[in-house]
Structure 1
Amino acid sequence: MSDEMVRSLGPGRYLDWKGQFSISCRFRNEGDGAIWVFTGVYGPFSREDREGLWEELGAIRGLWEEPWCLGGDFNITLYIDDRNRTGRITSAMRGWWQGIEVSGRPSYRLATKLKGLKQNLKTWNKEVFGRLEKNKADALQQVESWDSVEEVRSLTEVELNQKKEAKESYEKWVSMEEVHWRQLSRELWLREGDRNTGFFHRMANAHRRINAMSKIMINGETVKEDLLGLFKEFHDQNSFIKSLNHTFLVLIPKKGGVEELGDYRPISLLGGLYKLLAKILDGSLIANEVIDLWQKRGEKGWMWYCISTVKYSVLVNGVPAGFFSSTKGLRQGDPLSPYLFIMGMEVLSVLITRAAEGGFIKGCRIWRDREQAVKVTHLLFADDTIIFCEAKKEALLHLGWVLFWFEAASGLKINLDKSMVIPVGEVDGVLDMAAEIGCRVGQLPTVYLGLPLEAPNRDVSAWDGVEERTRRRLSLWKRQYLSEGGRLTLIKSTLSSFPLYQMSVFRMPKSVARRIEKLQRDFLWGGTNGGTKSHLVKWEAVCVEKEKGGLGLRKITILNKALLGKWIWRFACAKEEFWKKVLEAKYGKRSLGGGQGRQTGAFGVEFGRRS
């Protein structure tokens, strides 16, 4: 392109720079007089000339302070996904591009930089790691090749250095493979439900302390400025770029041999930036103040924008399959979800309470002294709800209307597939009453919040679930080669924690405690491949404190009694807790230790004290 051709484009445009691969023009708008720069590029084909292209563009960038528009045919792409032909992104281009300042709102700039970072990380992973098994095999082959040569003759100094490099390469790939399998093994453990054990919490806290960092450095620049710009934009405008609120859905099978969509459990994968925003709302705003602010302003605020701009994408074989907008519901893992869900369930609680006050639902009245009677109509814990009402068709009809009003007001629909009507005692016409709600009929004993409901205190079958989980975990571990120290650690961290939840409420039968301790003993002294060996030390000696020569394991019966004993302290410290009022209404204060003399309760420990 010649200078005359550029000048012939018309008034207000003039040639300002002509390089080897580009031509730059400064434009002045006739309307507002604003000046901006456009650079037209025709990139070279050879890799050697591309270095000169990026150097030329870097020099042009420092010539003017006006807005700069860059376009043309670069003969190279920034992102691998945009490339249809062969070719690689040179390090020179990557270094040049990292210095570009993306214009636009702060959230857009940050999202654009993260998009570029994601592609660079994919490229880095492919170039640095590649196929671990193949790279390890190739490195091992090189080492064996040098060993074969060394058996025939002595290696020269150059060859010795090459053999050393081959060994170092092999050790590197072996180390990477170990990290890879360690991550996979962690996933297997998490699938077995161990993410809440104290062992994993301690390990995570230790890693968190070791790996703690106050800020992230990217090419010598921190992301602090971009993050602060995002928060300022959200604070000033109550909005941010919607792509930061995209959520991936992973479908985890609830059981083996799944066939229907309902057999999967959806898990939400939220972006880290959104979690930071929501966490600030979580920690700094109180729900009542937010609602009052909305009412005064007459407009929707931050929380509404956070939950109304959600888009989901289901990961199919690890690949996103398009996005669709959310119309209702809350996301798992969103810091705002627990508060918003509690606000919604409060509506259900108020509806049930008003229905009980109006005589439509009577609930269960507990009293030993009429002056201390307590009425229990419902219990709520997260999305688990239990409602007590009379075994009458009219009561179930009224309850159905309450649930209908709650659905109409909140948009939360009752999952009838997971709901049931459970009769207590002999109840006639229970099928007709269940039809009023539209759910199935259950029976006692059942499970509520992971604990047996209405199971006899000495019923051994109530502990079958704990014993089964212990055996299932042992069947997984027996396939692994574990030292005695590793087995001891697993017993303390995992096997001993399985029954804790149930032992904190119920007394474990001695026969169940003996069976679980036998499983622990056999595992501790077991053979290398799951076989059995002689027990070298009595179990009583193993359970002695380490300071006295034992291994520090805890006897289940003693631990069970200690866990139950905590309720004595909680009862003494509690004042207005509802569970304390229920116990006092049923057993009376004197029976629970309010009077003189020694009293023993269902926990098997002294609940009062001598005067």
Structure 2
Amino acid sequence: MTILPPGADGPKWGADNPMLCIYVSVVLVLGDFNAIALAEEKCGGAPFDPNRAARFREVLEQSGLLDLGSTGPRFTWRGVARGGYDRVFERLDRAICNAEWRTLFGDTSADGTLITEEEALHAHATDHFRRLLSRERGPIQSTIPHCFPQLSPTALQSLVRPVTVEEVHRTLFDMGPFKAPGSDGYQVVFFQSNWEFIWPSLFEFIRQIMEGATSISRVNETLLILIPKIKRSETIHHFRPINLCNVSYKLVTKTIANRLQGYISELVSSNQVSFVPGHQIHDNIVVALELVHTMLCMRGRKKFMTIKVDLEKAYDRFLWDFIDDTLVAVGVPSQLRAIIMDCIPTMTCYSSPRHQRTKSERCVKFCTVSMRCPGKRLSSFNATSSLGRYLGVPVVHGRLPRDHFLHIINQVQVRLSGYAGKTLSLAGRVTLAKSVLQAMSSYIMHTMKLPALICSDLEKLCRSFVWGHSSNQRKIHLVNWQTVTQPLARGGLGLRDLSLFNDAILAKKGWSVITNQGSLWVRVVASKYMDRLDASLQLRVLAIDSWQWKGIA
């Protein structure tokens, strides 16, 4: 082990660094490196230095060392606020190894207290989810009257219509045949393959429940299973519970859901995209960016404030009494409402949604300090001049700097420089490059035009990875990049030209403005910009327009 004191300006990552002189076949290095490799490994303090981080990554690559990653807190060191900057947090501690060590000890992990006994595991999991999902029963605020839309008479008749054999058959065969079974041990495929023998008794059971003659509680037995939320799950916080229900129970609930789905647009606001057919998450991103852009461009005596709220466990934390009140408010028939509420009588310990104060912020525009302080006391939110990212996309104020998209480059660097990239063949590297670039860049391309420099940097990373470049070894490009980005049928490798791909995605958005005028985001941008459309169908784009609209238009 070699210990080096840092110099006055920090450690010197260069060719004379002892980390380069590694002759052992199996290497593991742990400790405080006093350096960071990516912008996301730092928060606060002086601005991120990309050159210093690049030198650190270069040393790791020249040494053939890989970052093993980490779990738990995001940062390992914190400093004091100085020089007019906020308090700084950084990830200085890390564990790195070479490919040989990773091959030998691929399943190695480190944690604190290890629980292996079955009874202790059961008690630990039960205690965790009881504290997470329950609270003491208290007074419930009544639902505000007349704040929900009402179901139409046609919808009411459709919801309580008699169930038919065809409806049960269609619902059953819409289910996945090999999904996990419930407590009775039967999968959907058993009911589907034996439909001609079991349909009379199965249909009669469903009919009695839908007509209120039988309670669904007869089959309301479920298996609670914990599934991991991340790949390297080590603590109970890395798991979430799911219910494995019986097929007969799912037939009833899916029948009700199918009936409600046809009228969901009458009840759910158009800005909801989570479960409404035809809505996409990118719709809300465009709406949010346009609203912030409008707020920042407005002038006058009016004051504006944007509140960004993060709901913690939103779908798991609704009081069932609130659900019942909501069903009454929208006019769901009492017979159907009774069946729905009969599905969830044992889950009354679940609590209501609460916001994450640490992840919620207020963005204030044209407000004095004297006005901001009372707002902070009332909302308990931190005031900020920037909302950061919304659904993974930066909320851009004004110009479009390169720094807003450094996280994409960092993510691609991490994925392409890992253990797999050093052991894959050319075909494997091409496949990995396709999946990484498509997954990490196409998402944000649906909302705005990426700067040309960002596309160039991403393609440079892709080229270096595909041809096996390293910092100290430059390999020959066997085919030029224009040929590589051609489809396989034309002799290319199927990789995409990111700039052209971005233009194609935004062109589809522009076509949606014409063909999908009922969408919320289309109505928003049309109200802002479409009045400039002249007789020749030419649309003027102004310098003050938002970046996403400039890309679409």
TM (norm. structure 1) is: 0.40
| Structure with bigger RCO (C-alpha 8 Å, 6+ apart) | 2
The structure that has the greater radius of gyration is 1
Whose helix proportion is higher, 1 or 2? 1
